[in-house]
Structure 1
Amino acid sequence: MAIKRMDNVGIVVDDLDATIDFFRDLGLELEGRANVEGEWAGRVTGLGDQQVEIAMMRTPDGQSRLELSRFLTPPIVSDHRNAPVNALGYLRVMFTIDNIDATLAKLTPRGAELVGEVVRYQDIYKLCYIRGPGGLLIGLAEELG
C-alpha cells in the first residue's frame, strides 16, 4: 500500500460565494460547483441525510485543490476559526505566491487581515498569516532569491 497523491484539503465555510471570490483573487481557479446530498453522502461522512454546497478550487499548476463546503443540513456544530496558530488539529492552508505585498494589497479589500506581521526567514522566504473570509487562517510564503 502506498499513497499516490493528496487530492484536496476540505474547508467548511459559511459564505461560499465570498470564499470562492477570495480564493480566486489569491490565484486559485474554480474547477466546479455542485450540491452533494442524500443518504449515500451521509454514509461517507457519518452525518446521515446531509445537504452540502461544494466548490472545488484548483491551484494554477493543477496539482492541489481546496474543497470548500457550505453545510445546509445538518447545521455546523463547532467553530474553530478563531483558534490560535498553536491549536491542535487542522488549522491552516499555506500557499507559495509571487509577491506578498501585492497579494495583501489585493486581498485586504476582500477582508483579509494580517495575523501578526510579514517576516523574513533567512534569505529563503517572506512569510505571513492572514485571516480570510469567515476567519479562515491562510499562510502566505514568497520565495526570495
Structure 2
Amino acid sequence: MTVLRMDNVGVVVDDLDAAVAFFAALGLETEGRARVEGPDVDRLVGLDGVRCDMAVVRTPDGHGRLELMRFVSPSSPAGDPGAAVNVLGIRRIMFAVTDVEGTLARLQELGADAVGDVVPFGGRHVLAYVRGPGGVLVALAQEEG
C-alpha cells in the first residue's frame, strides 16, 4: 500500500482567530470551522475530556491544507513560541508566494516577526522566515526569473 496524498498539517495555536487572520493575510482561504469533542475524539487523540475549536485553511490551488486547533480542554502545555528553527519536531511550513517583501509586510501588520533577513537563495529563490501567532514558523519562497 502507498500513500495517496497528504491531507493536512495540524498546528496547535493559542488564539484561533489570530491564526486564521494570519493565514488569510498570507492568502489561504478558510474551508470550515468546527468544535470537536466527545468519546471518539478522546479515544482518537489519547486525551480525556477533549474540546477543541478548529479551522481548516487551504491554499488557493486547493492542494495544501492546515488544520488549526485550539484546545479548550485539556489546555495545551506551554511550549517555547520563540524556539529556533533547529529544535526537533516540525519547525516550519513553507509557502510559494509571488512577492516575499509584500507578503512579509502584510504579515508584519498583523504582528508577525521576521526571523532573519530576506535572502536570495541558490540563484532561484528569494526566501524569508516569519514567526506568526503562537510562534508558528512560516517560510516564504518566491521564485526568481
TM-score normalised per structure 1: 0.97
Shift in Å, 1:80: 3.6
Q: Which residues of 2 match residues 111-122 of structure 1 at below 5 A?
A: 111-122=111-122
2:35 paired with 1:57? no
Distance 1:96 1:48 in 2: 38
Structure 1 unaligned segments of length 5 or more: list them. Answer: none
Distance 1:112 1:82 in 2: 12
The equivalent residue for 1:67 is 67
Distance 1:48 1:2 in 2: 32
2:140 paired with 1:140? yes
The equivalent residue for 2:39 is 39
Residues 60-115 of structure 1 deviation map (CA, whole Å, 9 limit, x = unaligned): 00001000000000011241422111111111111010001111121111011110
Residues 7-48 of structure 1 deviation map (CA, whole Å, 9 limit, x = unaligned): 000000011011101100100000000000011001010012
**Which stretches of structure 1, 4 residues or longer, exceed 6 Å deviation after superposition?**
none
Identity %, equivalent residues: 50
Distance 1:43 1:51 in 2: 13
TM-score normalised per structure 2: 0.97
The equivalent residue for 2:93 is 93
Distance 2:81 2:64 in 1: 22
Distance 1:138 1:80 in 2: 16
Distance 1:140 1:76 in 2: 27
